[in-house]
Structure formats: structure tokens, C-alpha cells
């Protein structure tokens, strides 16, 4: 059964205004995400993952603009509607990389939860029971123990679960998680995903990660390089039988160095952002790489 299309997004061109002109950061990245589906966005630092996610939430920095493109959420055209603010924290929820940094150090867990519940128009008399319920849902067996704690009194794992409790106050249709399992071991990572599925079974989940193990827990994978999509498809297929030279490089050597750019990507030198580092590159690659499709995988490359 085809599930609801929750996110239908095209970045168009996302560019930063700099002192000496403009720099394109992301170009024509298309994302489609259905209810209950997990999509991993992977790539090196600087590949455009976070900028793409910020543009989905329309939270780009002031000097960065999105030109063209589209943003449909649950069938509604959010670019035409204008402000996305009322949907953030309610229908679209962000789970940060570091719960401790995300939480306001001067506010208790109770204050954070009550603020979210107030935004959702939950009557004051119901806020305590709803806050307790959200903490229970997020895996706190004794929620009263954490309700009046400040963030500095929580461990990193507890703070991350508080951010899930905050999300659980509403029933979001779209979750955007930026490196949500950074620093967690593989068991804790798996538990985190089980928790996400238990708390938000129907939500579409966009997971930004540089961790292949995390990507393998998703349904689909989309590989970015230099702000462009290189390859996308079913996670198992892409991670076991990558078609694009960049994906293969990412899965081999680049993973070990934490996916840092080396040397820096220079998208302007050829159409393909991987041009300078690709062992298969030739003059042909200075044109537009063809779009190839085979089974469930799509990729853009002149050679493979
Ligand atoms: S063969 Fe050409 S188009 Fe394909 S990844 Fe290498 S440089 Fe890019």
C-alpha cells in the first residue's frame, strides 16, 4: 500500500551571499519522504546535508537564500503559504545532534515541556500529566525524577531523550534528526531508532548522518556531494552495491576519516563535484553527467 507523501521537496539553488559574490551551496536536491519512512541523507562535511535540512524547515541563515525549488508538506505548498513557524515543533519536529546543547541551560525540563504544551494549546491544568506522559514515552520510567532537573544535571543520553519527549508532546508528521546518534555506541544507536519508531510510528523521518551504520538502519539513502545528489535508492541496495564512484569512495576510504573533505571539493571545476578526486574522471565529466536508473537505484555519473 502506497503511504502518504509527507515531504516533496526540491532545493532549487541554495546560495550564500559572501563579501566577494555568491557561492552555491546546494543545487537541485530532491527529497521525497512518505509516512513511516526513514531516509538517510549522507555525505562528507560540507556536502550540503545540514543546509538542505535547514531549508526544509525554512531556517536558513540570513545570508543564505533558496531560489526556485518547491516545498510541499503533506500536500500543502509551504512556499506559497509563507511562514512555516506554526508547524515547527508541532507537525514538523527537529531532533538535534546534542540534546545538552539544544536545551536552554537556565530552564528545567518541566519548563521546556510546558512551553511546548502551551504552544500546542494544552490547558494549564493538563500540562503536568501530559509532560509526565511524554517523558514516560521517551523511556523515563520515573519521570518525576527528571521533571525539575536542569539540563546540566542530565547525562547526554537523558538530554537526548528529553528532546524526544519534547517532540512526543505533539504528533509530528515529519521528524528531522541531525546526527542524532553522534557519540552513541551501536547498541544505543539501535535502541534510539527503536524508540523513534515506537514513539512516532507514522512520522516520516529524515536522518542526517555521516555514519554508514546509522544509514543502514534507514529505508532509503540519498548521497550528497558538493551540494548535489550523487545517488539514491534503497539503503540495502545502495550500501551493498553502490553504483556511483563517489558513493563507493565514501563507503571505502572516506568513512575512516569521518567523511572530511580531502582535498576540499571544488564544484565549479566540473559539473560533477567529485571530479577532482575521481579516479574515473575524464573530459566527458565536464558536461552534465547522465541520470541513470537501474531497479531501485538512481545515480548521476558519466561512466558507471
Ligand atoms: S566518472 Fe565523472 S561524473 Fe562519474 S563520478 Fe567520476 S568525475 Fe563524476
- CATH code for the domain of 197: 3.40.50.300
Whether residue 249 has its Cβ less than 6 Å from ligand 1:
no
Whether residue 225 has its Cβ less than 6 Å from ligand 1:
no
Task: Classify strands 76-77 and 13-18 as parallel, antiparallel or unpaired.
Answer: unpaired
| Nearest C-alpha neighbor of 110 from the set 148, 151, 160, 144 | 148
Distance 277 CA to ligand 1 centre (A): 9
Please write the tens of the pLDDT for every residue from 27-81: 999 999 999 999 999 998 889 999 999 999 999 999 999 999 999 999 999 999 8
CA angle centred on 178, ends 46 and 232, rounded to 5°: 65
In a domain, 111, yes or no: no
Whether 125 shows a pLDDT value over 70: the answer reads yes
Distance 14 CA to ligand 1 centre (A): 23
pLDDT bucket at 258, cuts 50 / 70 / 90: low
Cβ atoms of residues 289 and 242 within 8 Å: no
Task: Provide the CA 255 distance to its chain's centre, in angstroms.
Answer: 18
Whether residue 303 has its Cβ less than 6 Å from ligand 1:
yes
In a domain, 151, yes or no: no
Q: For ligand 1, what atom is nearest to the CA of residue 244?
A: 5
pLDDT bucket at 263, cuts 50 / 70 / 90: very low
The arithmetic mean of pLDDT across residues 12-29, rounded, is: 92
Please write the tens of the pLDDT for every residue from 169-214: 988 999 999 888 877 778 888 888 888 889 999 999 999 998 888 8
| Nearest C-alpha neighbor of 172 from the set 134, 198, 200 | 200
How many domains is the chain partitioned into structurally? 1
In a domain, 66, yes or no: yes
Atom 4 of ligand 1, nearest CA residue: 301
DSSP code string of 5-36:
EEEEEE--EEEEEETTEEEEEEES-EEEEETT
Residue 11's CB is within 10 A of a number of other CB atoms, namely 26
C-alpha span between 92 and 47 (Å, rounded)? 23
pLDDT bucket at 82, cuts 50 / 70 / 90: confident
Residue 109's CB is within 10 A of a number of other CB atoms, namely 26
What is the pLDDT, as a whole number, of residue 288? 82
Please write the tens of the pLDDT for every residue from 129-176: 999 999 999 999 999 999 999 999 998 888 989 999 999 998 899 999
Please give the C-alpha separations between residue 8 and each of 16, 33, 174, 208, in angstroms, as whole numbers: 23, 7, 12, 17
DSSP label at 60?
Answer: -
C-alpha span between 156 and 179 (Å, rounded)? 14
Of 193 and 256, which is predicted with more confidence?
193
Please give the C-alpha separations between residue 155 and each of 11, 103, 236, in angstroms, as whole numbers: 36, 12, 33
User: 129-132: which pairs have CB atoms within 8 A and are 24 or more residues apart?
Assistant: 130/169, 131/165, 131/169
Q: For ligand 1, what atom is nearest to the CA of residue 246?
A: 5
Q: What is the pTM of this model?
A: 0.90
In a domain, 205, yes or no: yes
Atom 3 of ligand 1, nearest CA residue: 301
In a domain, 242, yes or no: yes
Whether 270 shows a pLDDT value over 70: the answer reads no
Distance 142 CA to ligand 1 centre (A): 54
Q: For ligand 1, what atom is nearest to the CA of residue 273?
A: 8
pLDDT bucket at 285, cuts 50 / 70 / 90: confident
Whether residue 278 has its Cβ less than 6 Å from ligand 1:
yes
Task: Provide the CA 146 distance to its chain's centre, in angstroms.
Answer: 28
The arithmetic mean of pLDDT across residues 242-251, rounded, is: 92
In a domain, 221, yes or no: yes
Q: What are the φ and ψ backbone dihedral angles of 85, each rounded to 5 degrees?
A: -50, -45
Q: What is the CA radius of gyration of the chain?
A: 20
pLDDT bucket at 111, cuts 50 / 70 / 90: very high
Q: Give the per-residue SS3 of 103-150.
A: CCCCCCHHHHHHHHHHHCCCCHHHHHHHHHHHHHHCCCCCCHHHHCCC
C-alpha span between 116 and 104 (Å, rounded)? 13
Whether residue 246 has its Cβ less than 6 Å from ligand 1:
yes
Question: To test the ligand 1 pocket, which listed residue (272, 282, 290) has its Cβ within 8 A of the most ligand atoms?
Answer: 272
Domain ranges, residue 280 = 5-91+172-300
Whether residue 281 has its Cβ less than 6 Å from ligand 1:
yes
In a domain, 121, yes or no: no
C-alpha span between 152 and 86 (Å, rounded)? 29
Distance 12 CA to ligand 1 centre (A): 22
Question: To test the ligand 1 pocket, which listed residue (269, 270, 281) has its Cβ within 8 A of the most ligand atoms?
Answer: 281
User: 197-201: which pairs have CB atoms within 8 A and are 24 or more residues apart?
Assistant: 199/137, 199/138, 199/164, 199/167, 199/168, 200/167, 200/168, 200/171, 200/172, 200/175, 201/36
In a domain, 161, yes or no: no
Amino acid at each position: 500500500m502506497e503511504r502518504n507523501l509527507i515531504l516533496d521537496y526540491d532545493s532549487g539553488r541554495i546560495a550564500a551571499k559572501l563579501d566577494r559574490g555568491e557561492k552555491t551551496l546546494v543545487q537541485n536536491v530532491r527529497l521525497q519522504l512518505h509516512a513511516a519512512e526513514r531516509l538517510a541523507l549522507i555525505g562528507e562535511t560540507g556536502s550540503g546535508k545540514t543546509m538542505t535540512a535547514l531549508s526544509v524547515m525554512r531556517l536558513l541563515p540570513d545570508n543564505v537564500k533558496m531560489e526556485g525549488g518547491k516545498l510541499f508538506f503533506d500536500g500543502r505548498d509551504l512556499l506559497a503559504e509563507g511562514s512555516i513557524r506554526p508547524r515547527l515543533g508541532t507537525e514538523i519536529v527537529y531532533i538535534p545532534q546534542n540534546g545538552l546543547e539544544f536545551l536552554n541551560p537556565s530552564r528545567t525540563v518541566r519548563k521546556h515541556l510546558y512551553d511546548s504544551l502551551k504552544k500546542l494549546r494544552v490547558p494549564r491544568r493538563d500540562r503536568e500529566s501530559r509532560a509526565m506522559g511524554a517523558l514516560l514515552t521517551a523511556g523515563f520510567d520515573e519521570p518525576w525524577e527528571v521533571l525539575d532537573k536542569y539540563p546540566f544535571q542530565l547525562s547526554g543520553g537523558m538530554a537526548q531523550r528529553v528532546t524526544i519527549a519534547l517532540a512526543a508532546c505533539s504528533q509530528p508528521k515529519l521528524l528531522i534528526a541531525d546526527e542524532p546518534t553522534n557519540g552513541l555506541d551501536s547498541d544505543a544507536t539501535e535502541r534510539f531508532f527503536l524508540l523513534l519508531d515506537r514513539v512516532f510510528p507514522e512520522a516520516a523521518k529524515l536522518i542526517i548522518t555521516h555514519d554508514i551504520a546509522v544509514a543502514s538502519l534507514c529505508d532509503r539513502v540519498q548521497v550528497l556531494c558538493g551540494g548535489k545528489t550523487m545517488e539514491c535508492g534503497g539503503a540495502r541496495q545502495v550500501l551493498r552495491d553502490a553504483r556511483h564512484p563517489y558513493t563507493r569512495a565514501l563507503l571505502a576510504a572516506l568513512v575512516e576519516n569521518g567523511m572530511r573533505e580531502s582535498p576540499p571539493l571544488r564544484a565549479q571545476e566540473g559539473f560533477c563535484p567529485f571530479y577532482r578526486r575521481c579516479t574515473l574522471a575524464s573530459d566527458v565529466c565536464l558536461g552534465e553527467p547522465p541520470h541513470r536508473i537501474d531497479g531501485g537505484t538512481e545515480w548521476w555519473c558519466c561512466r558507471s
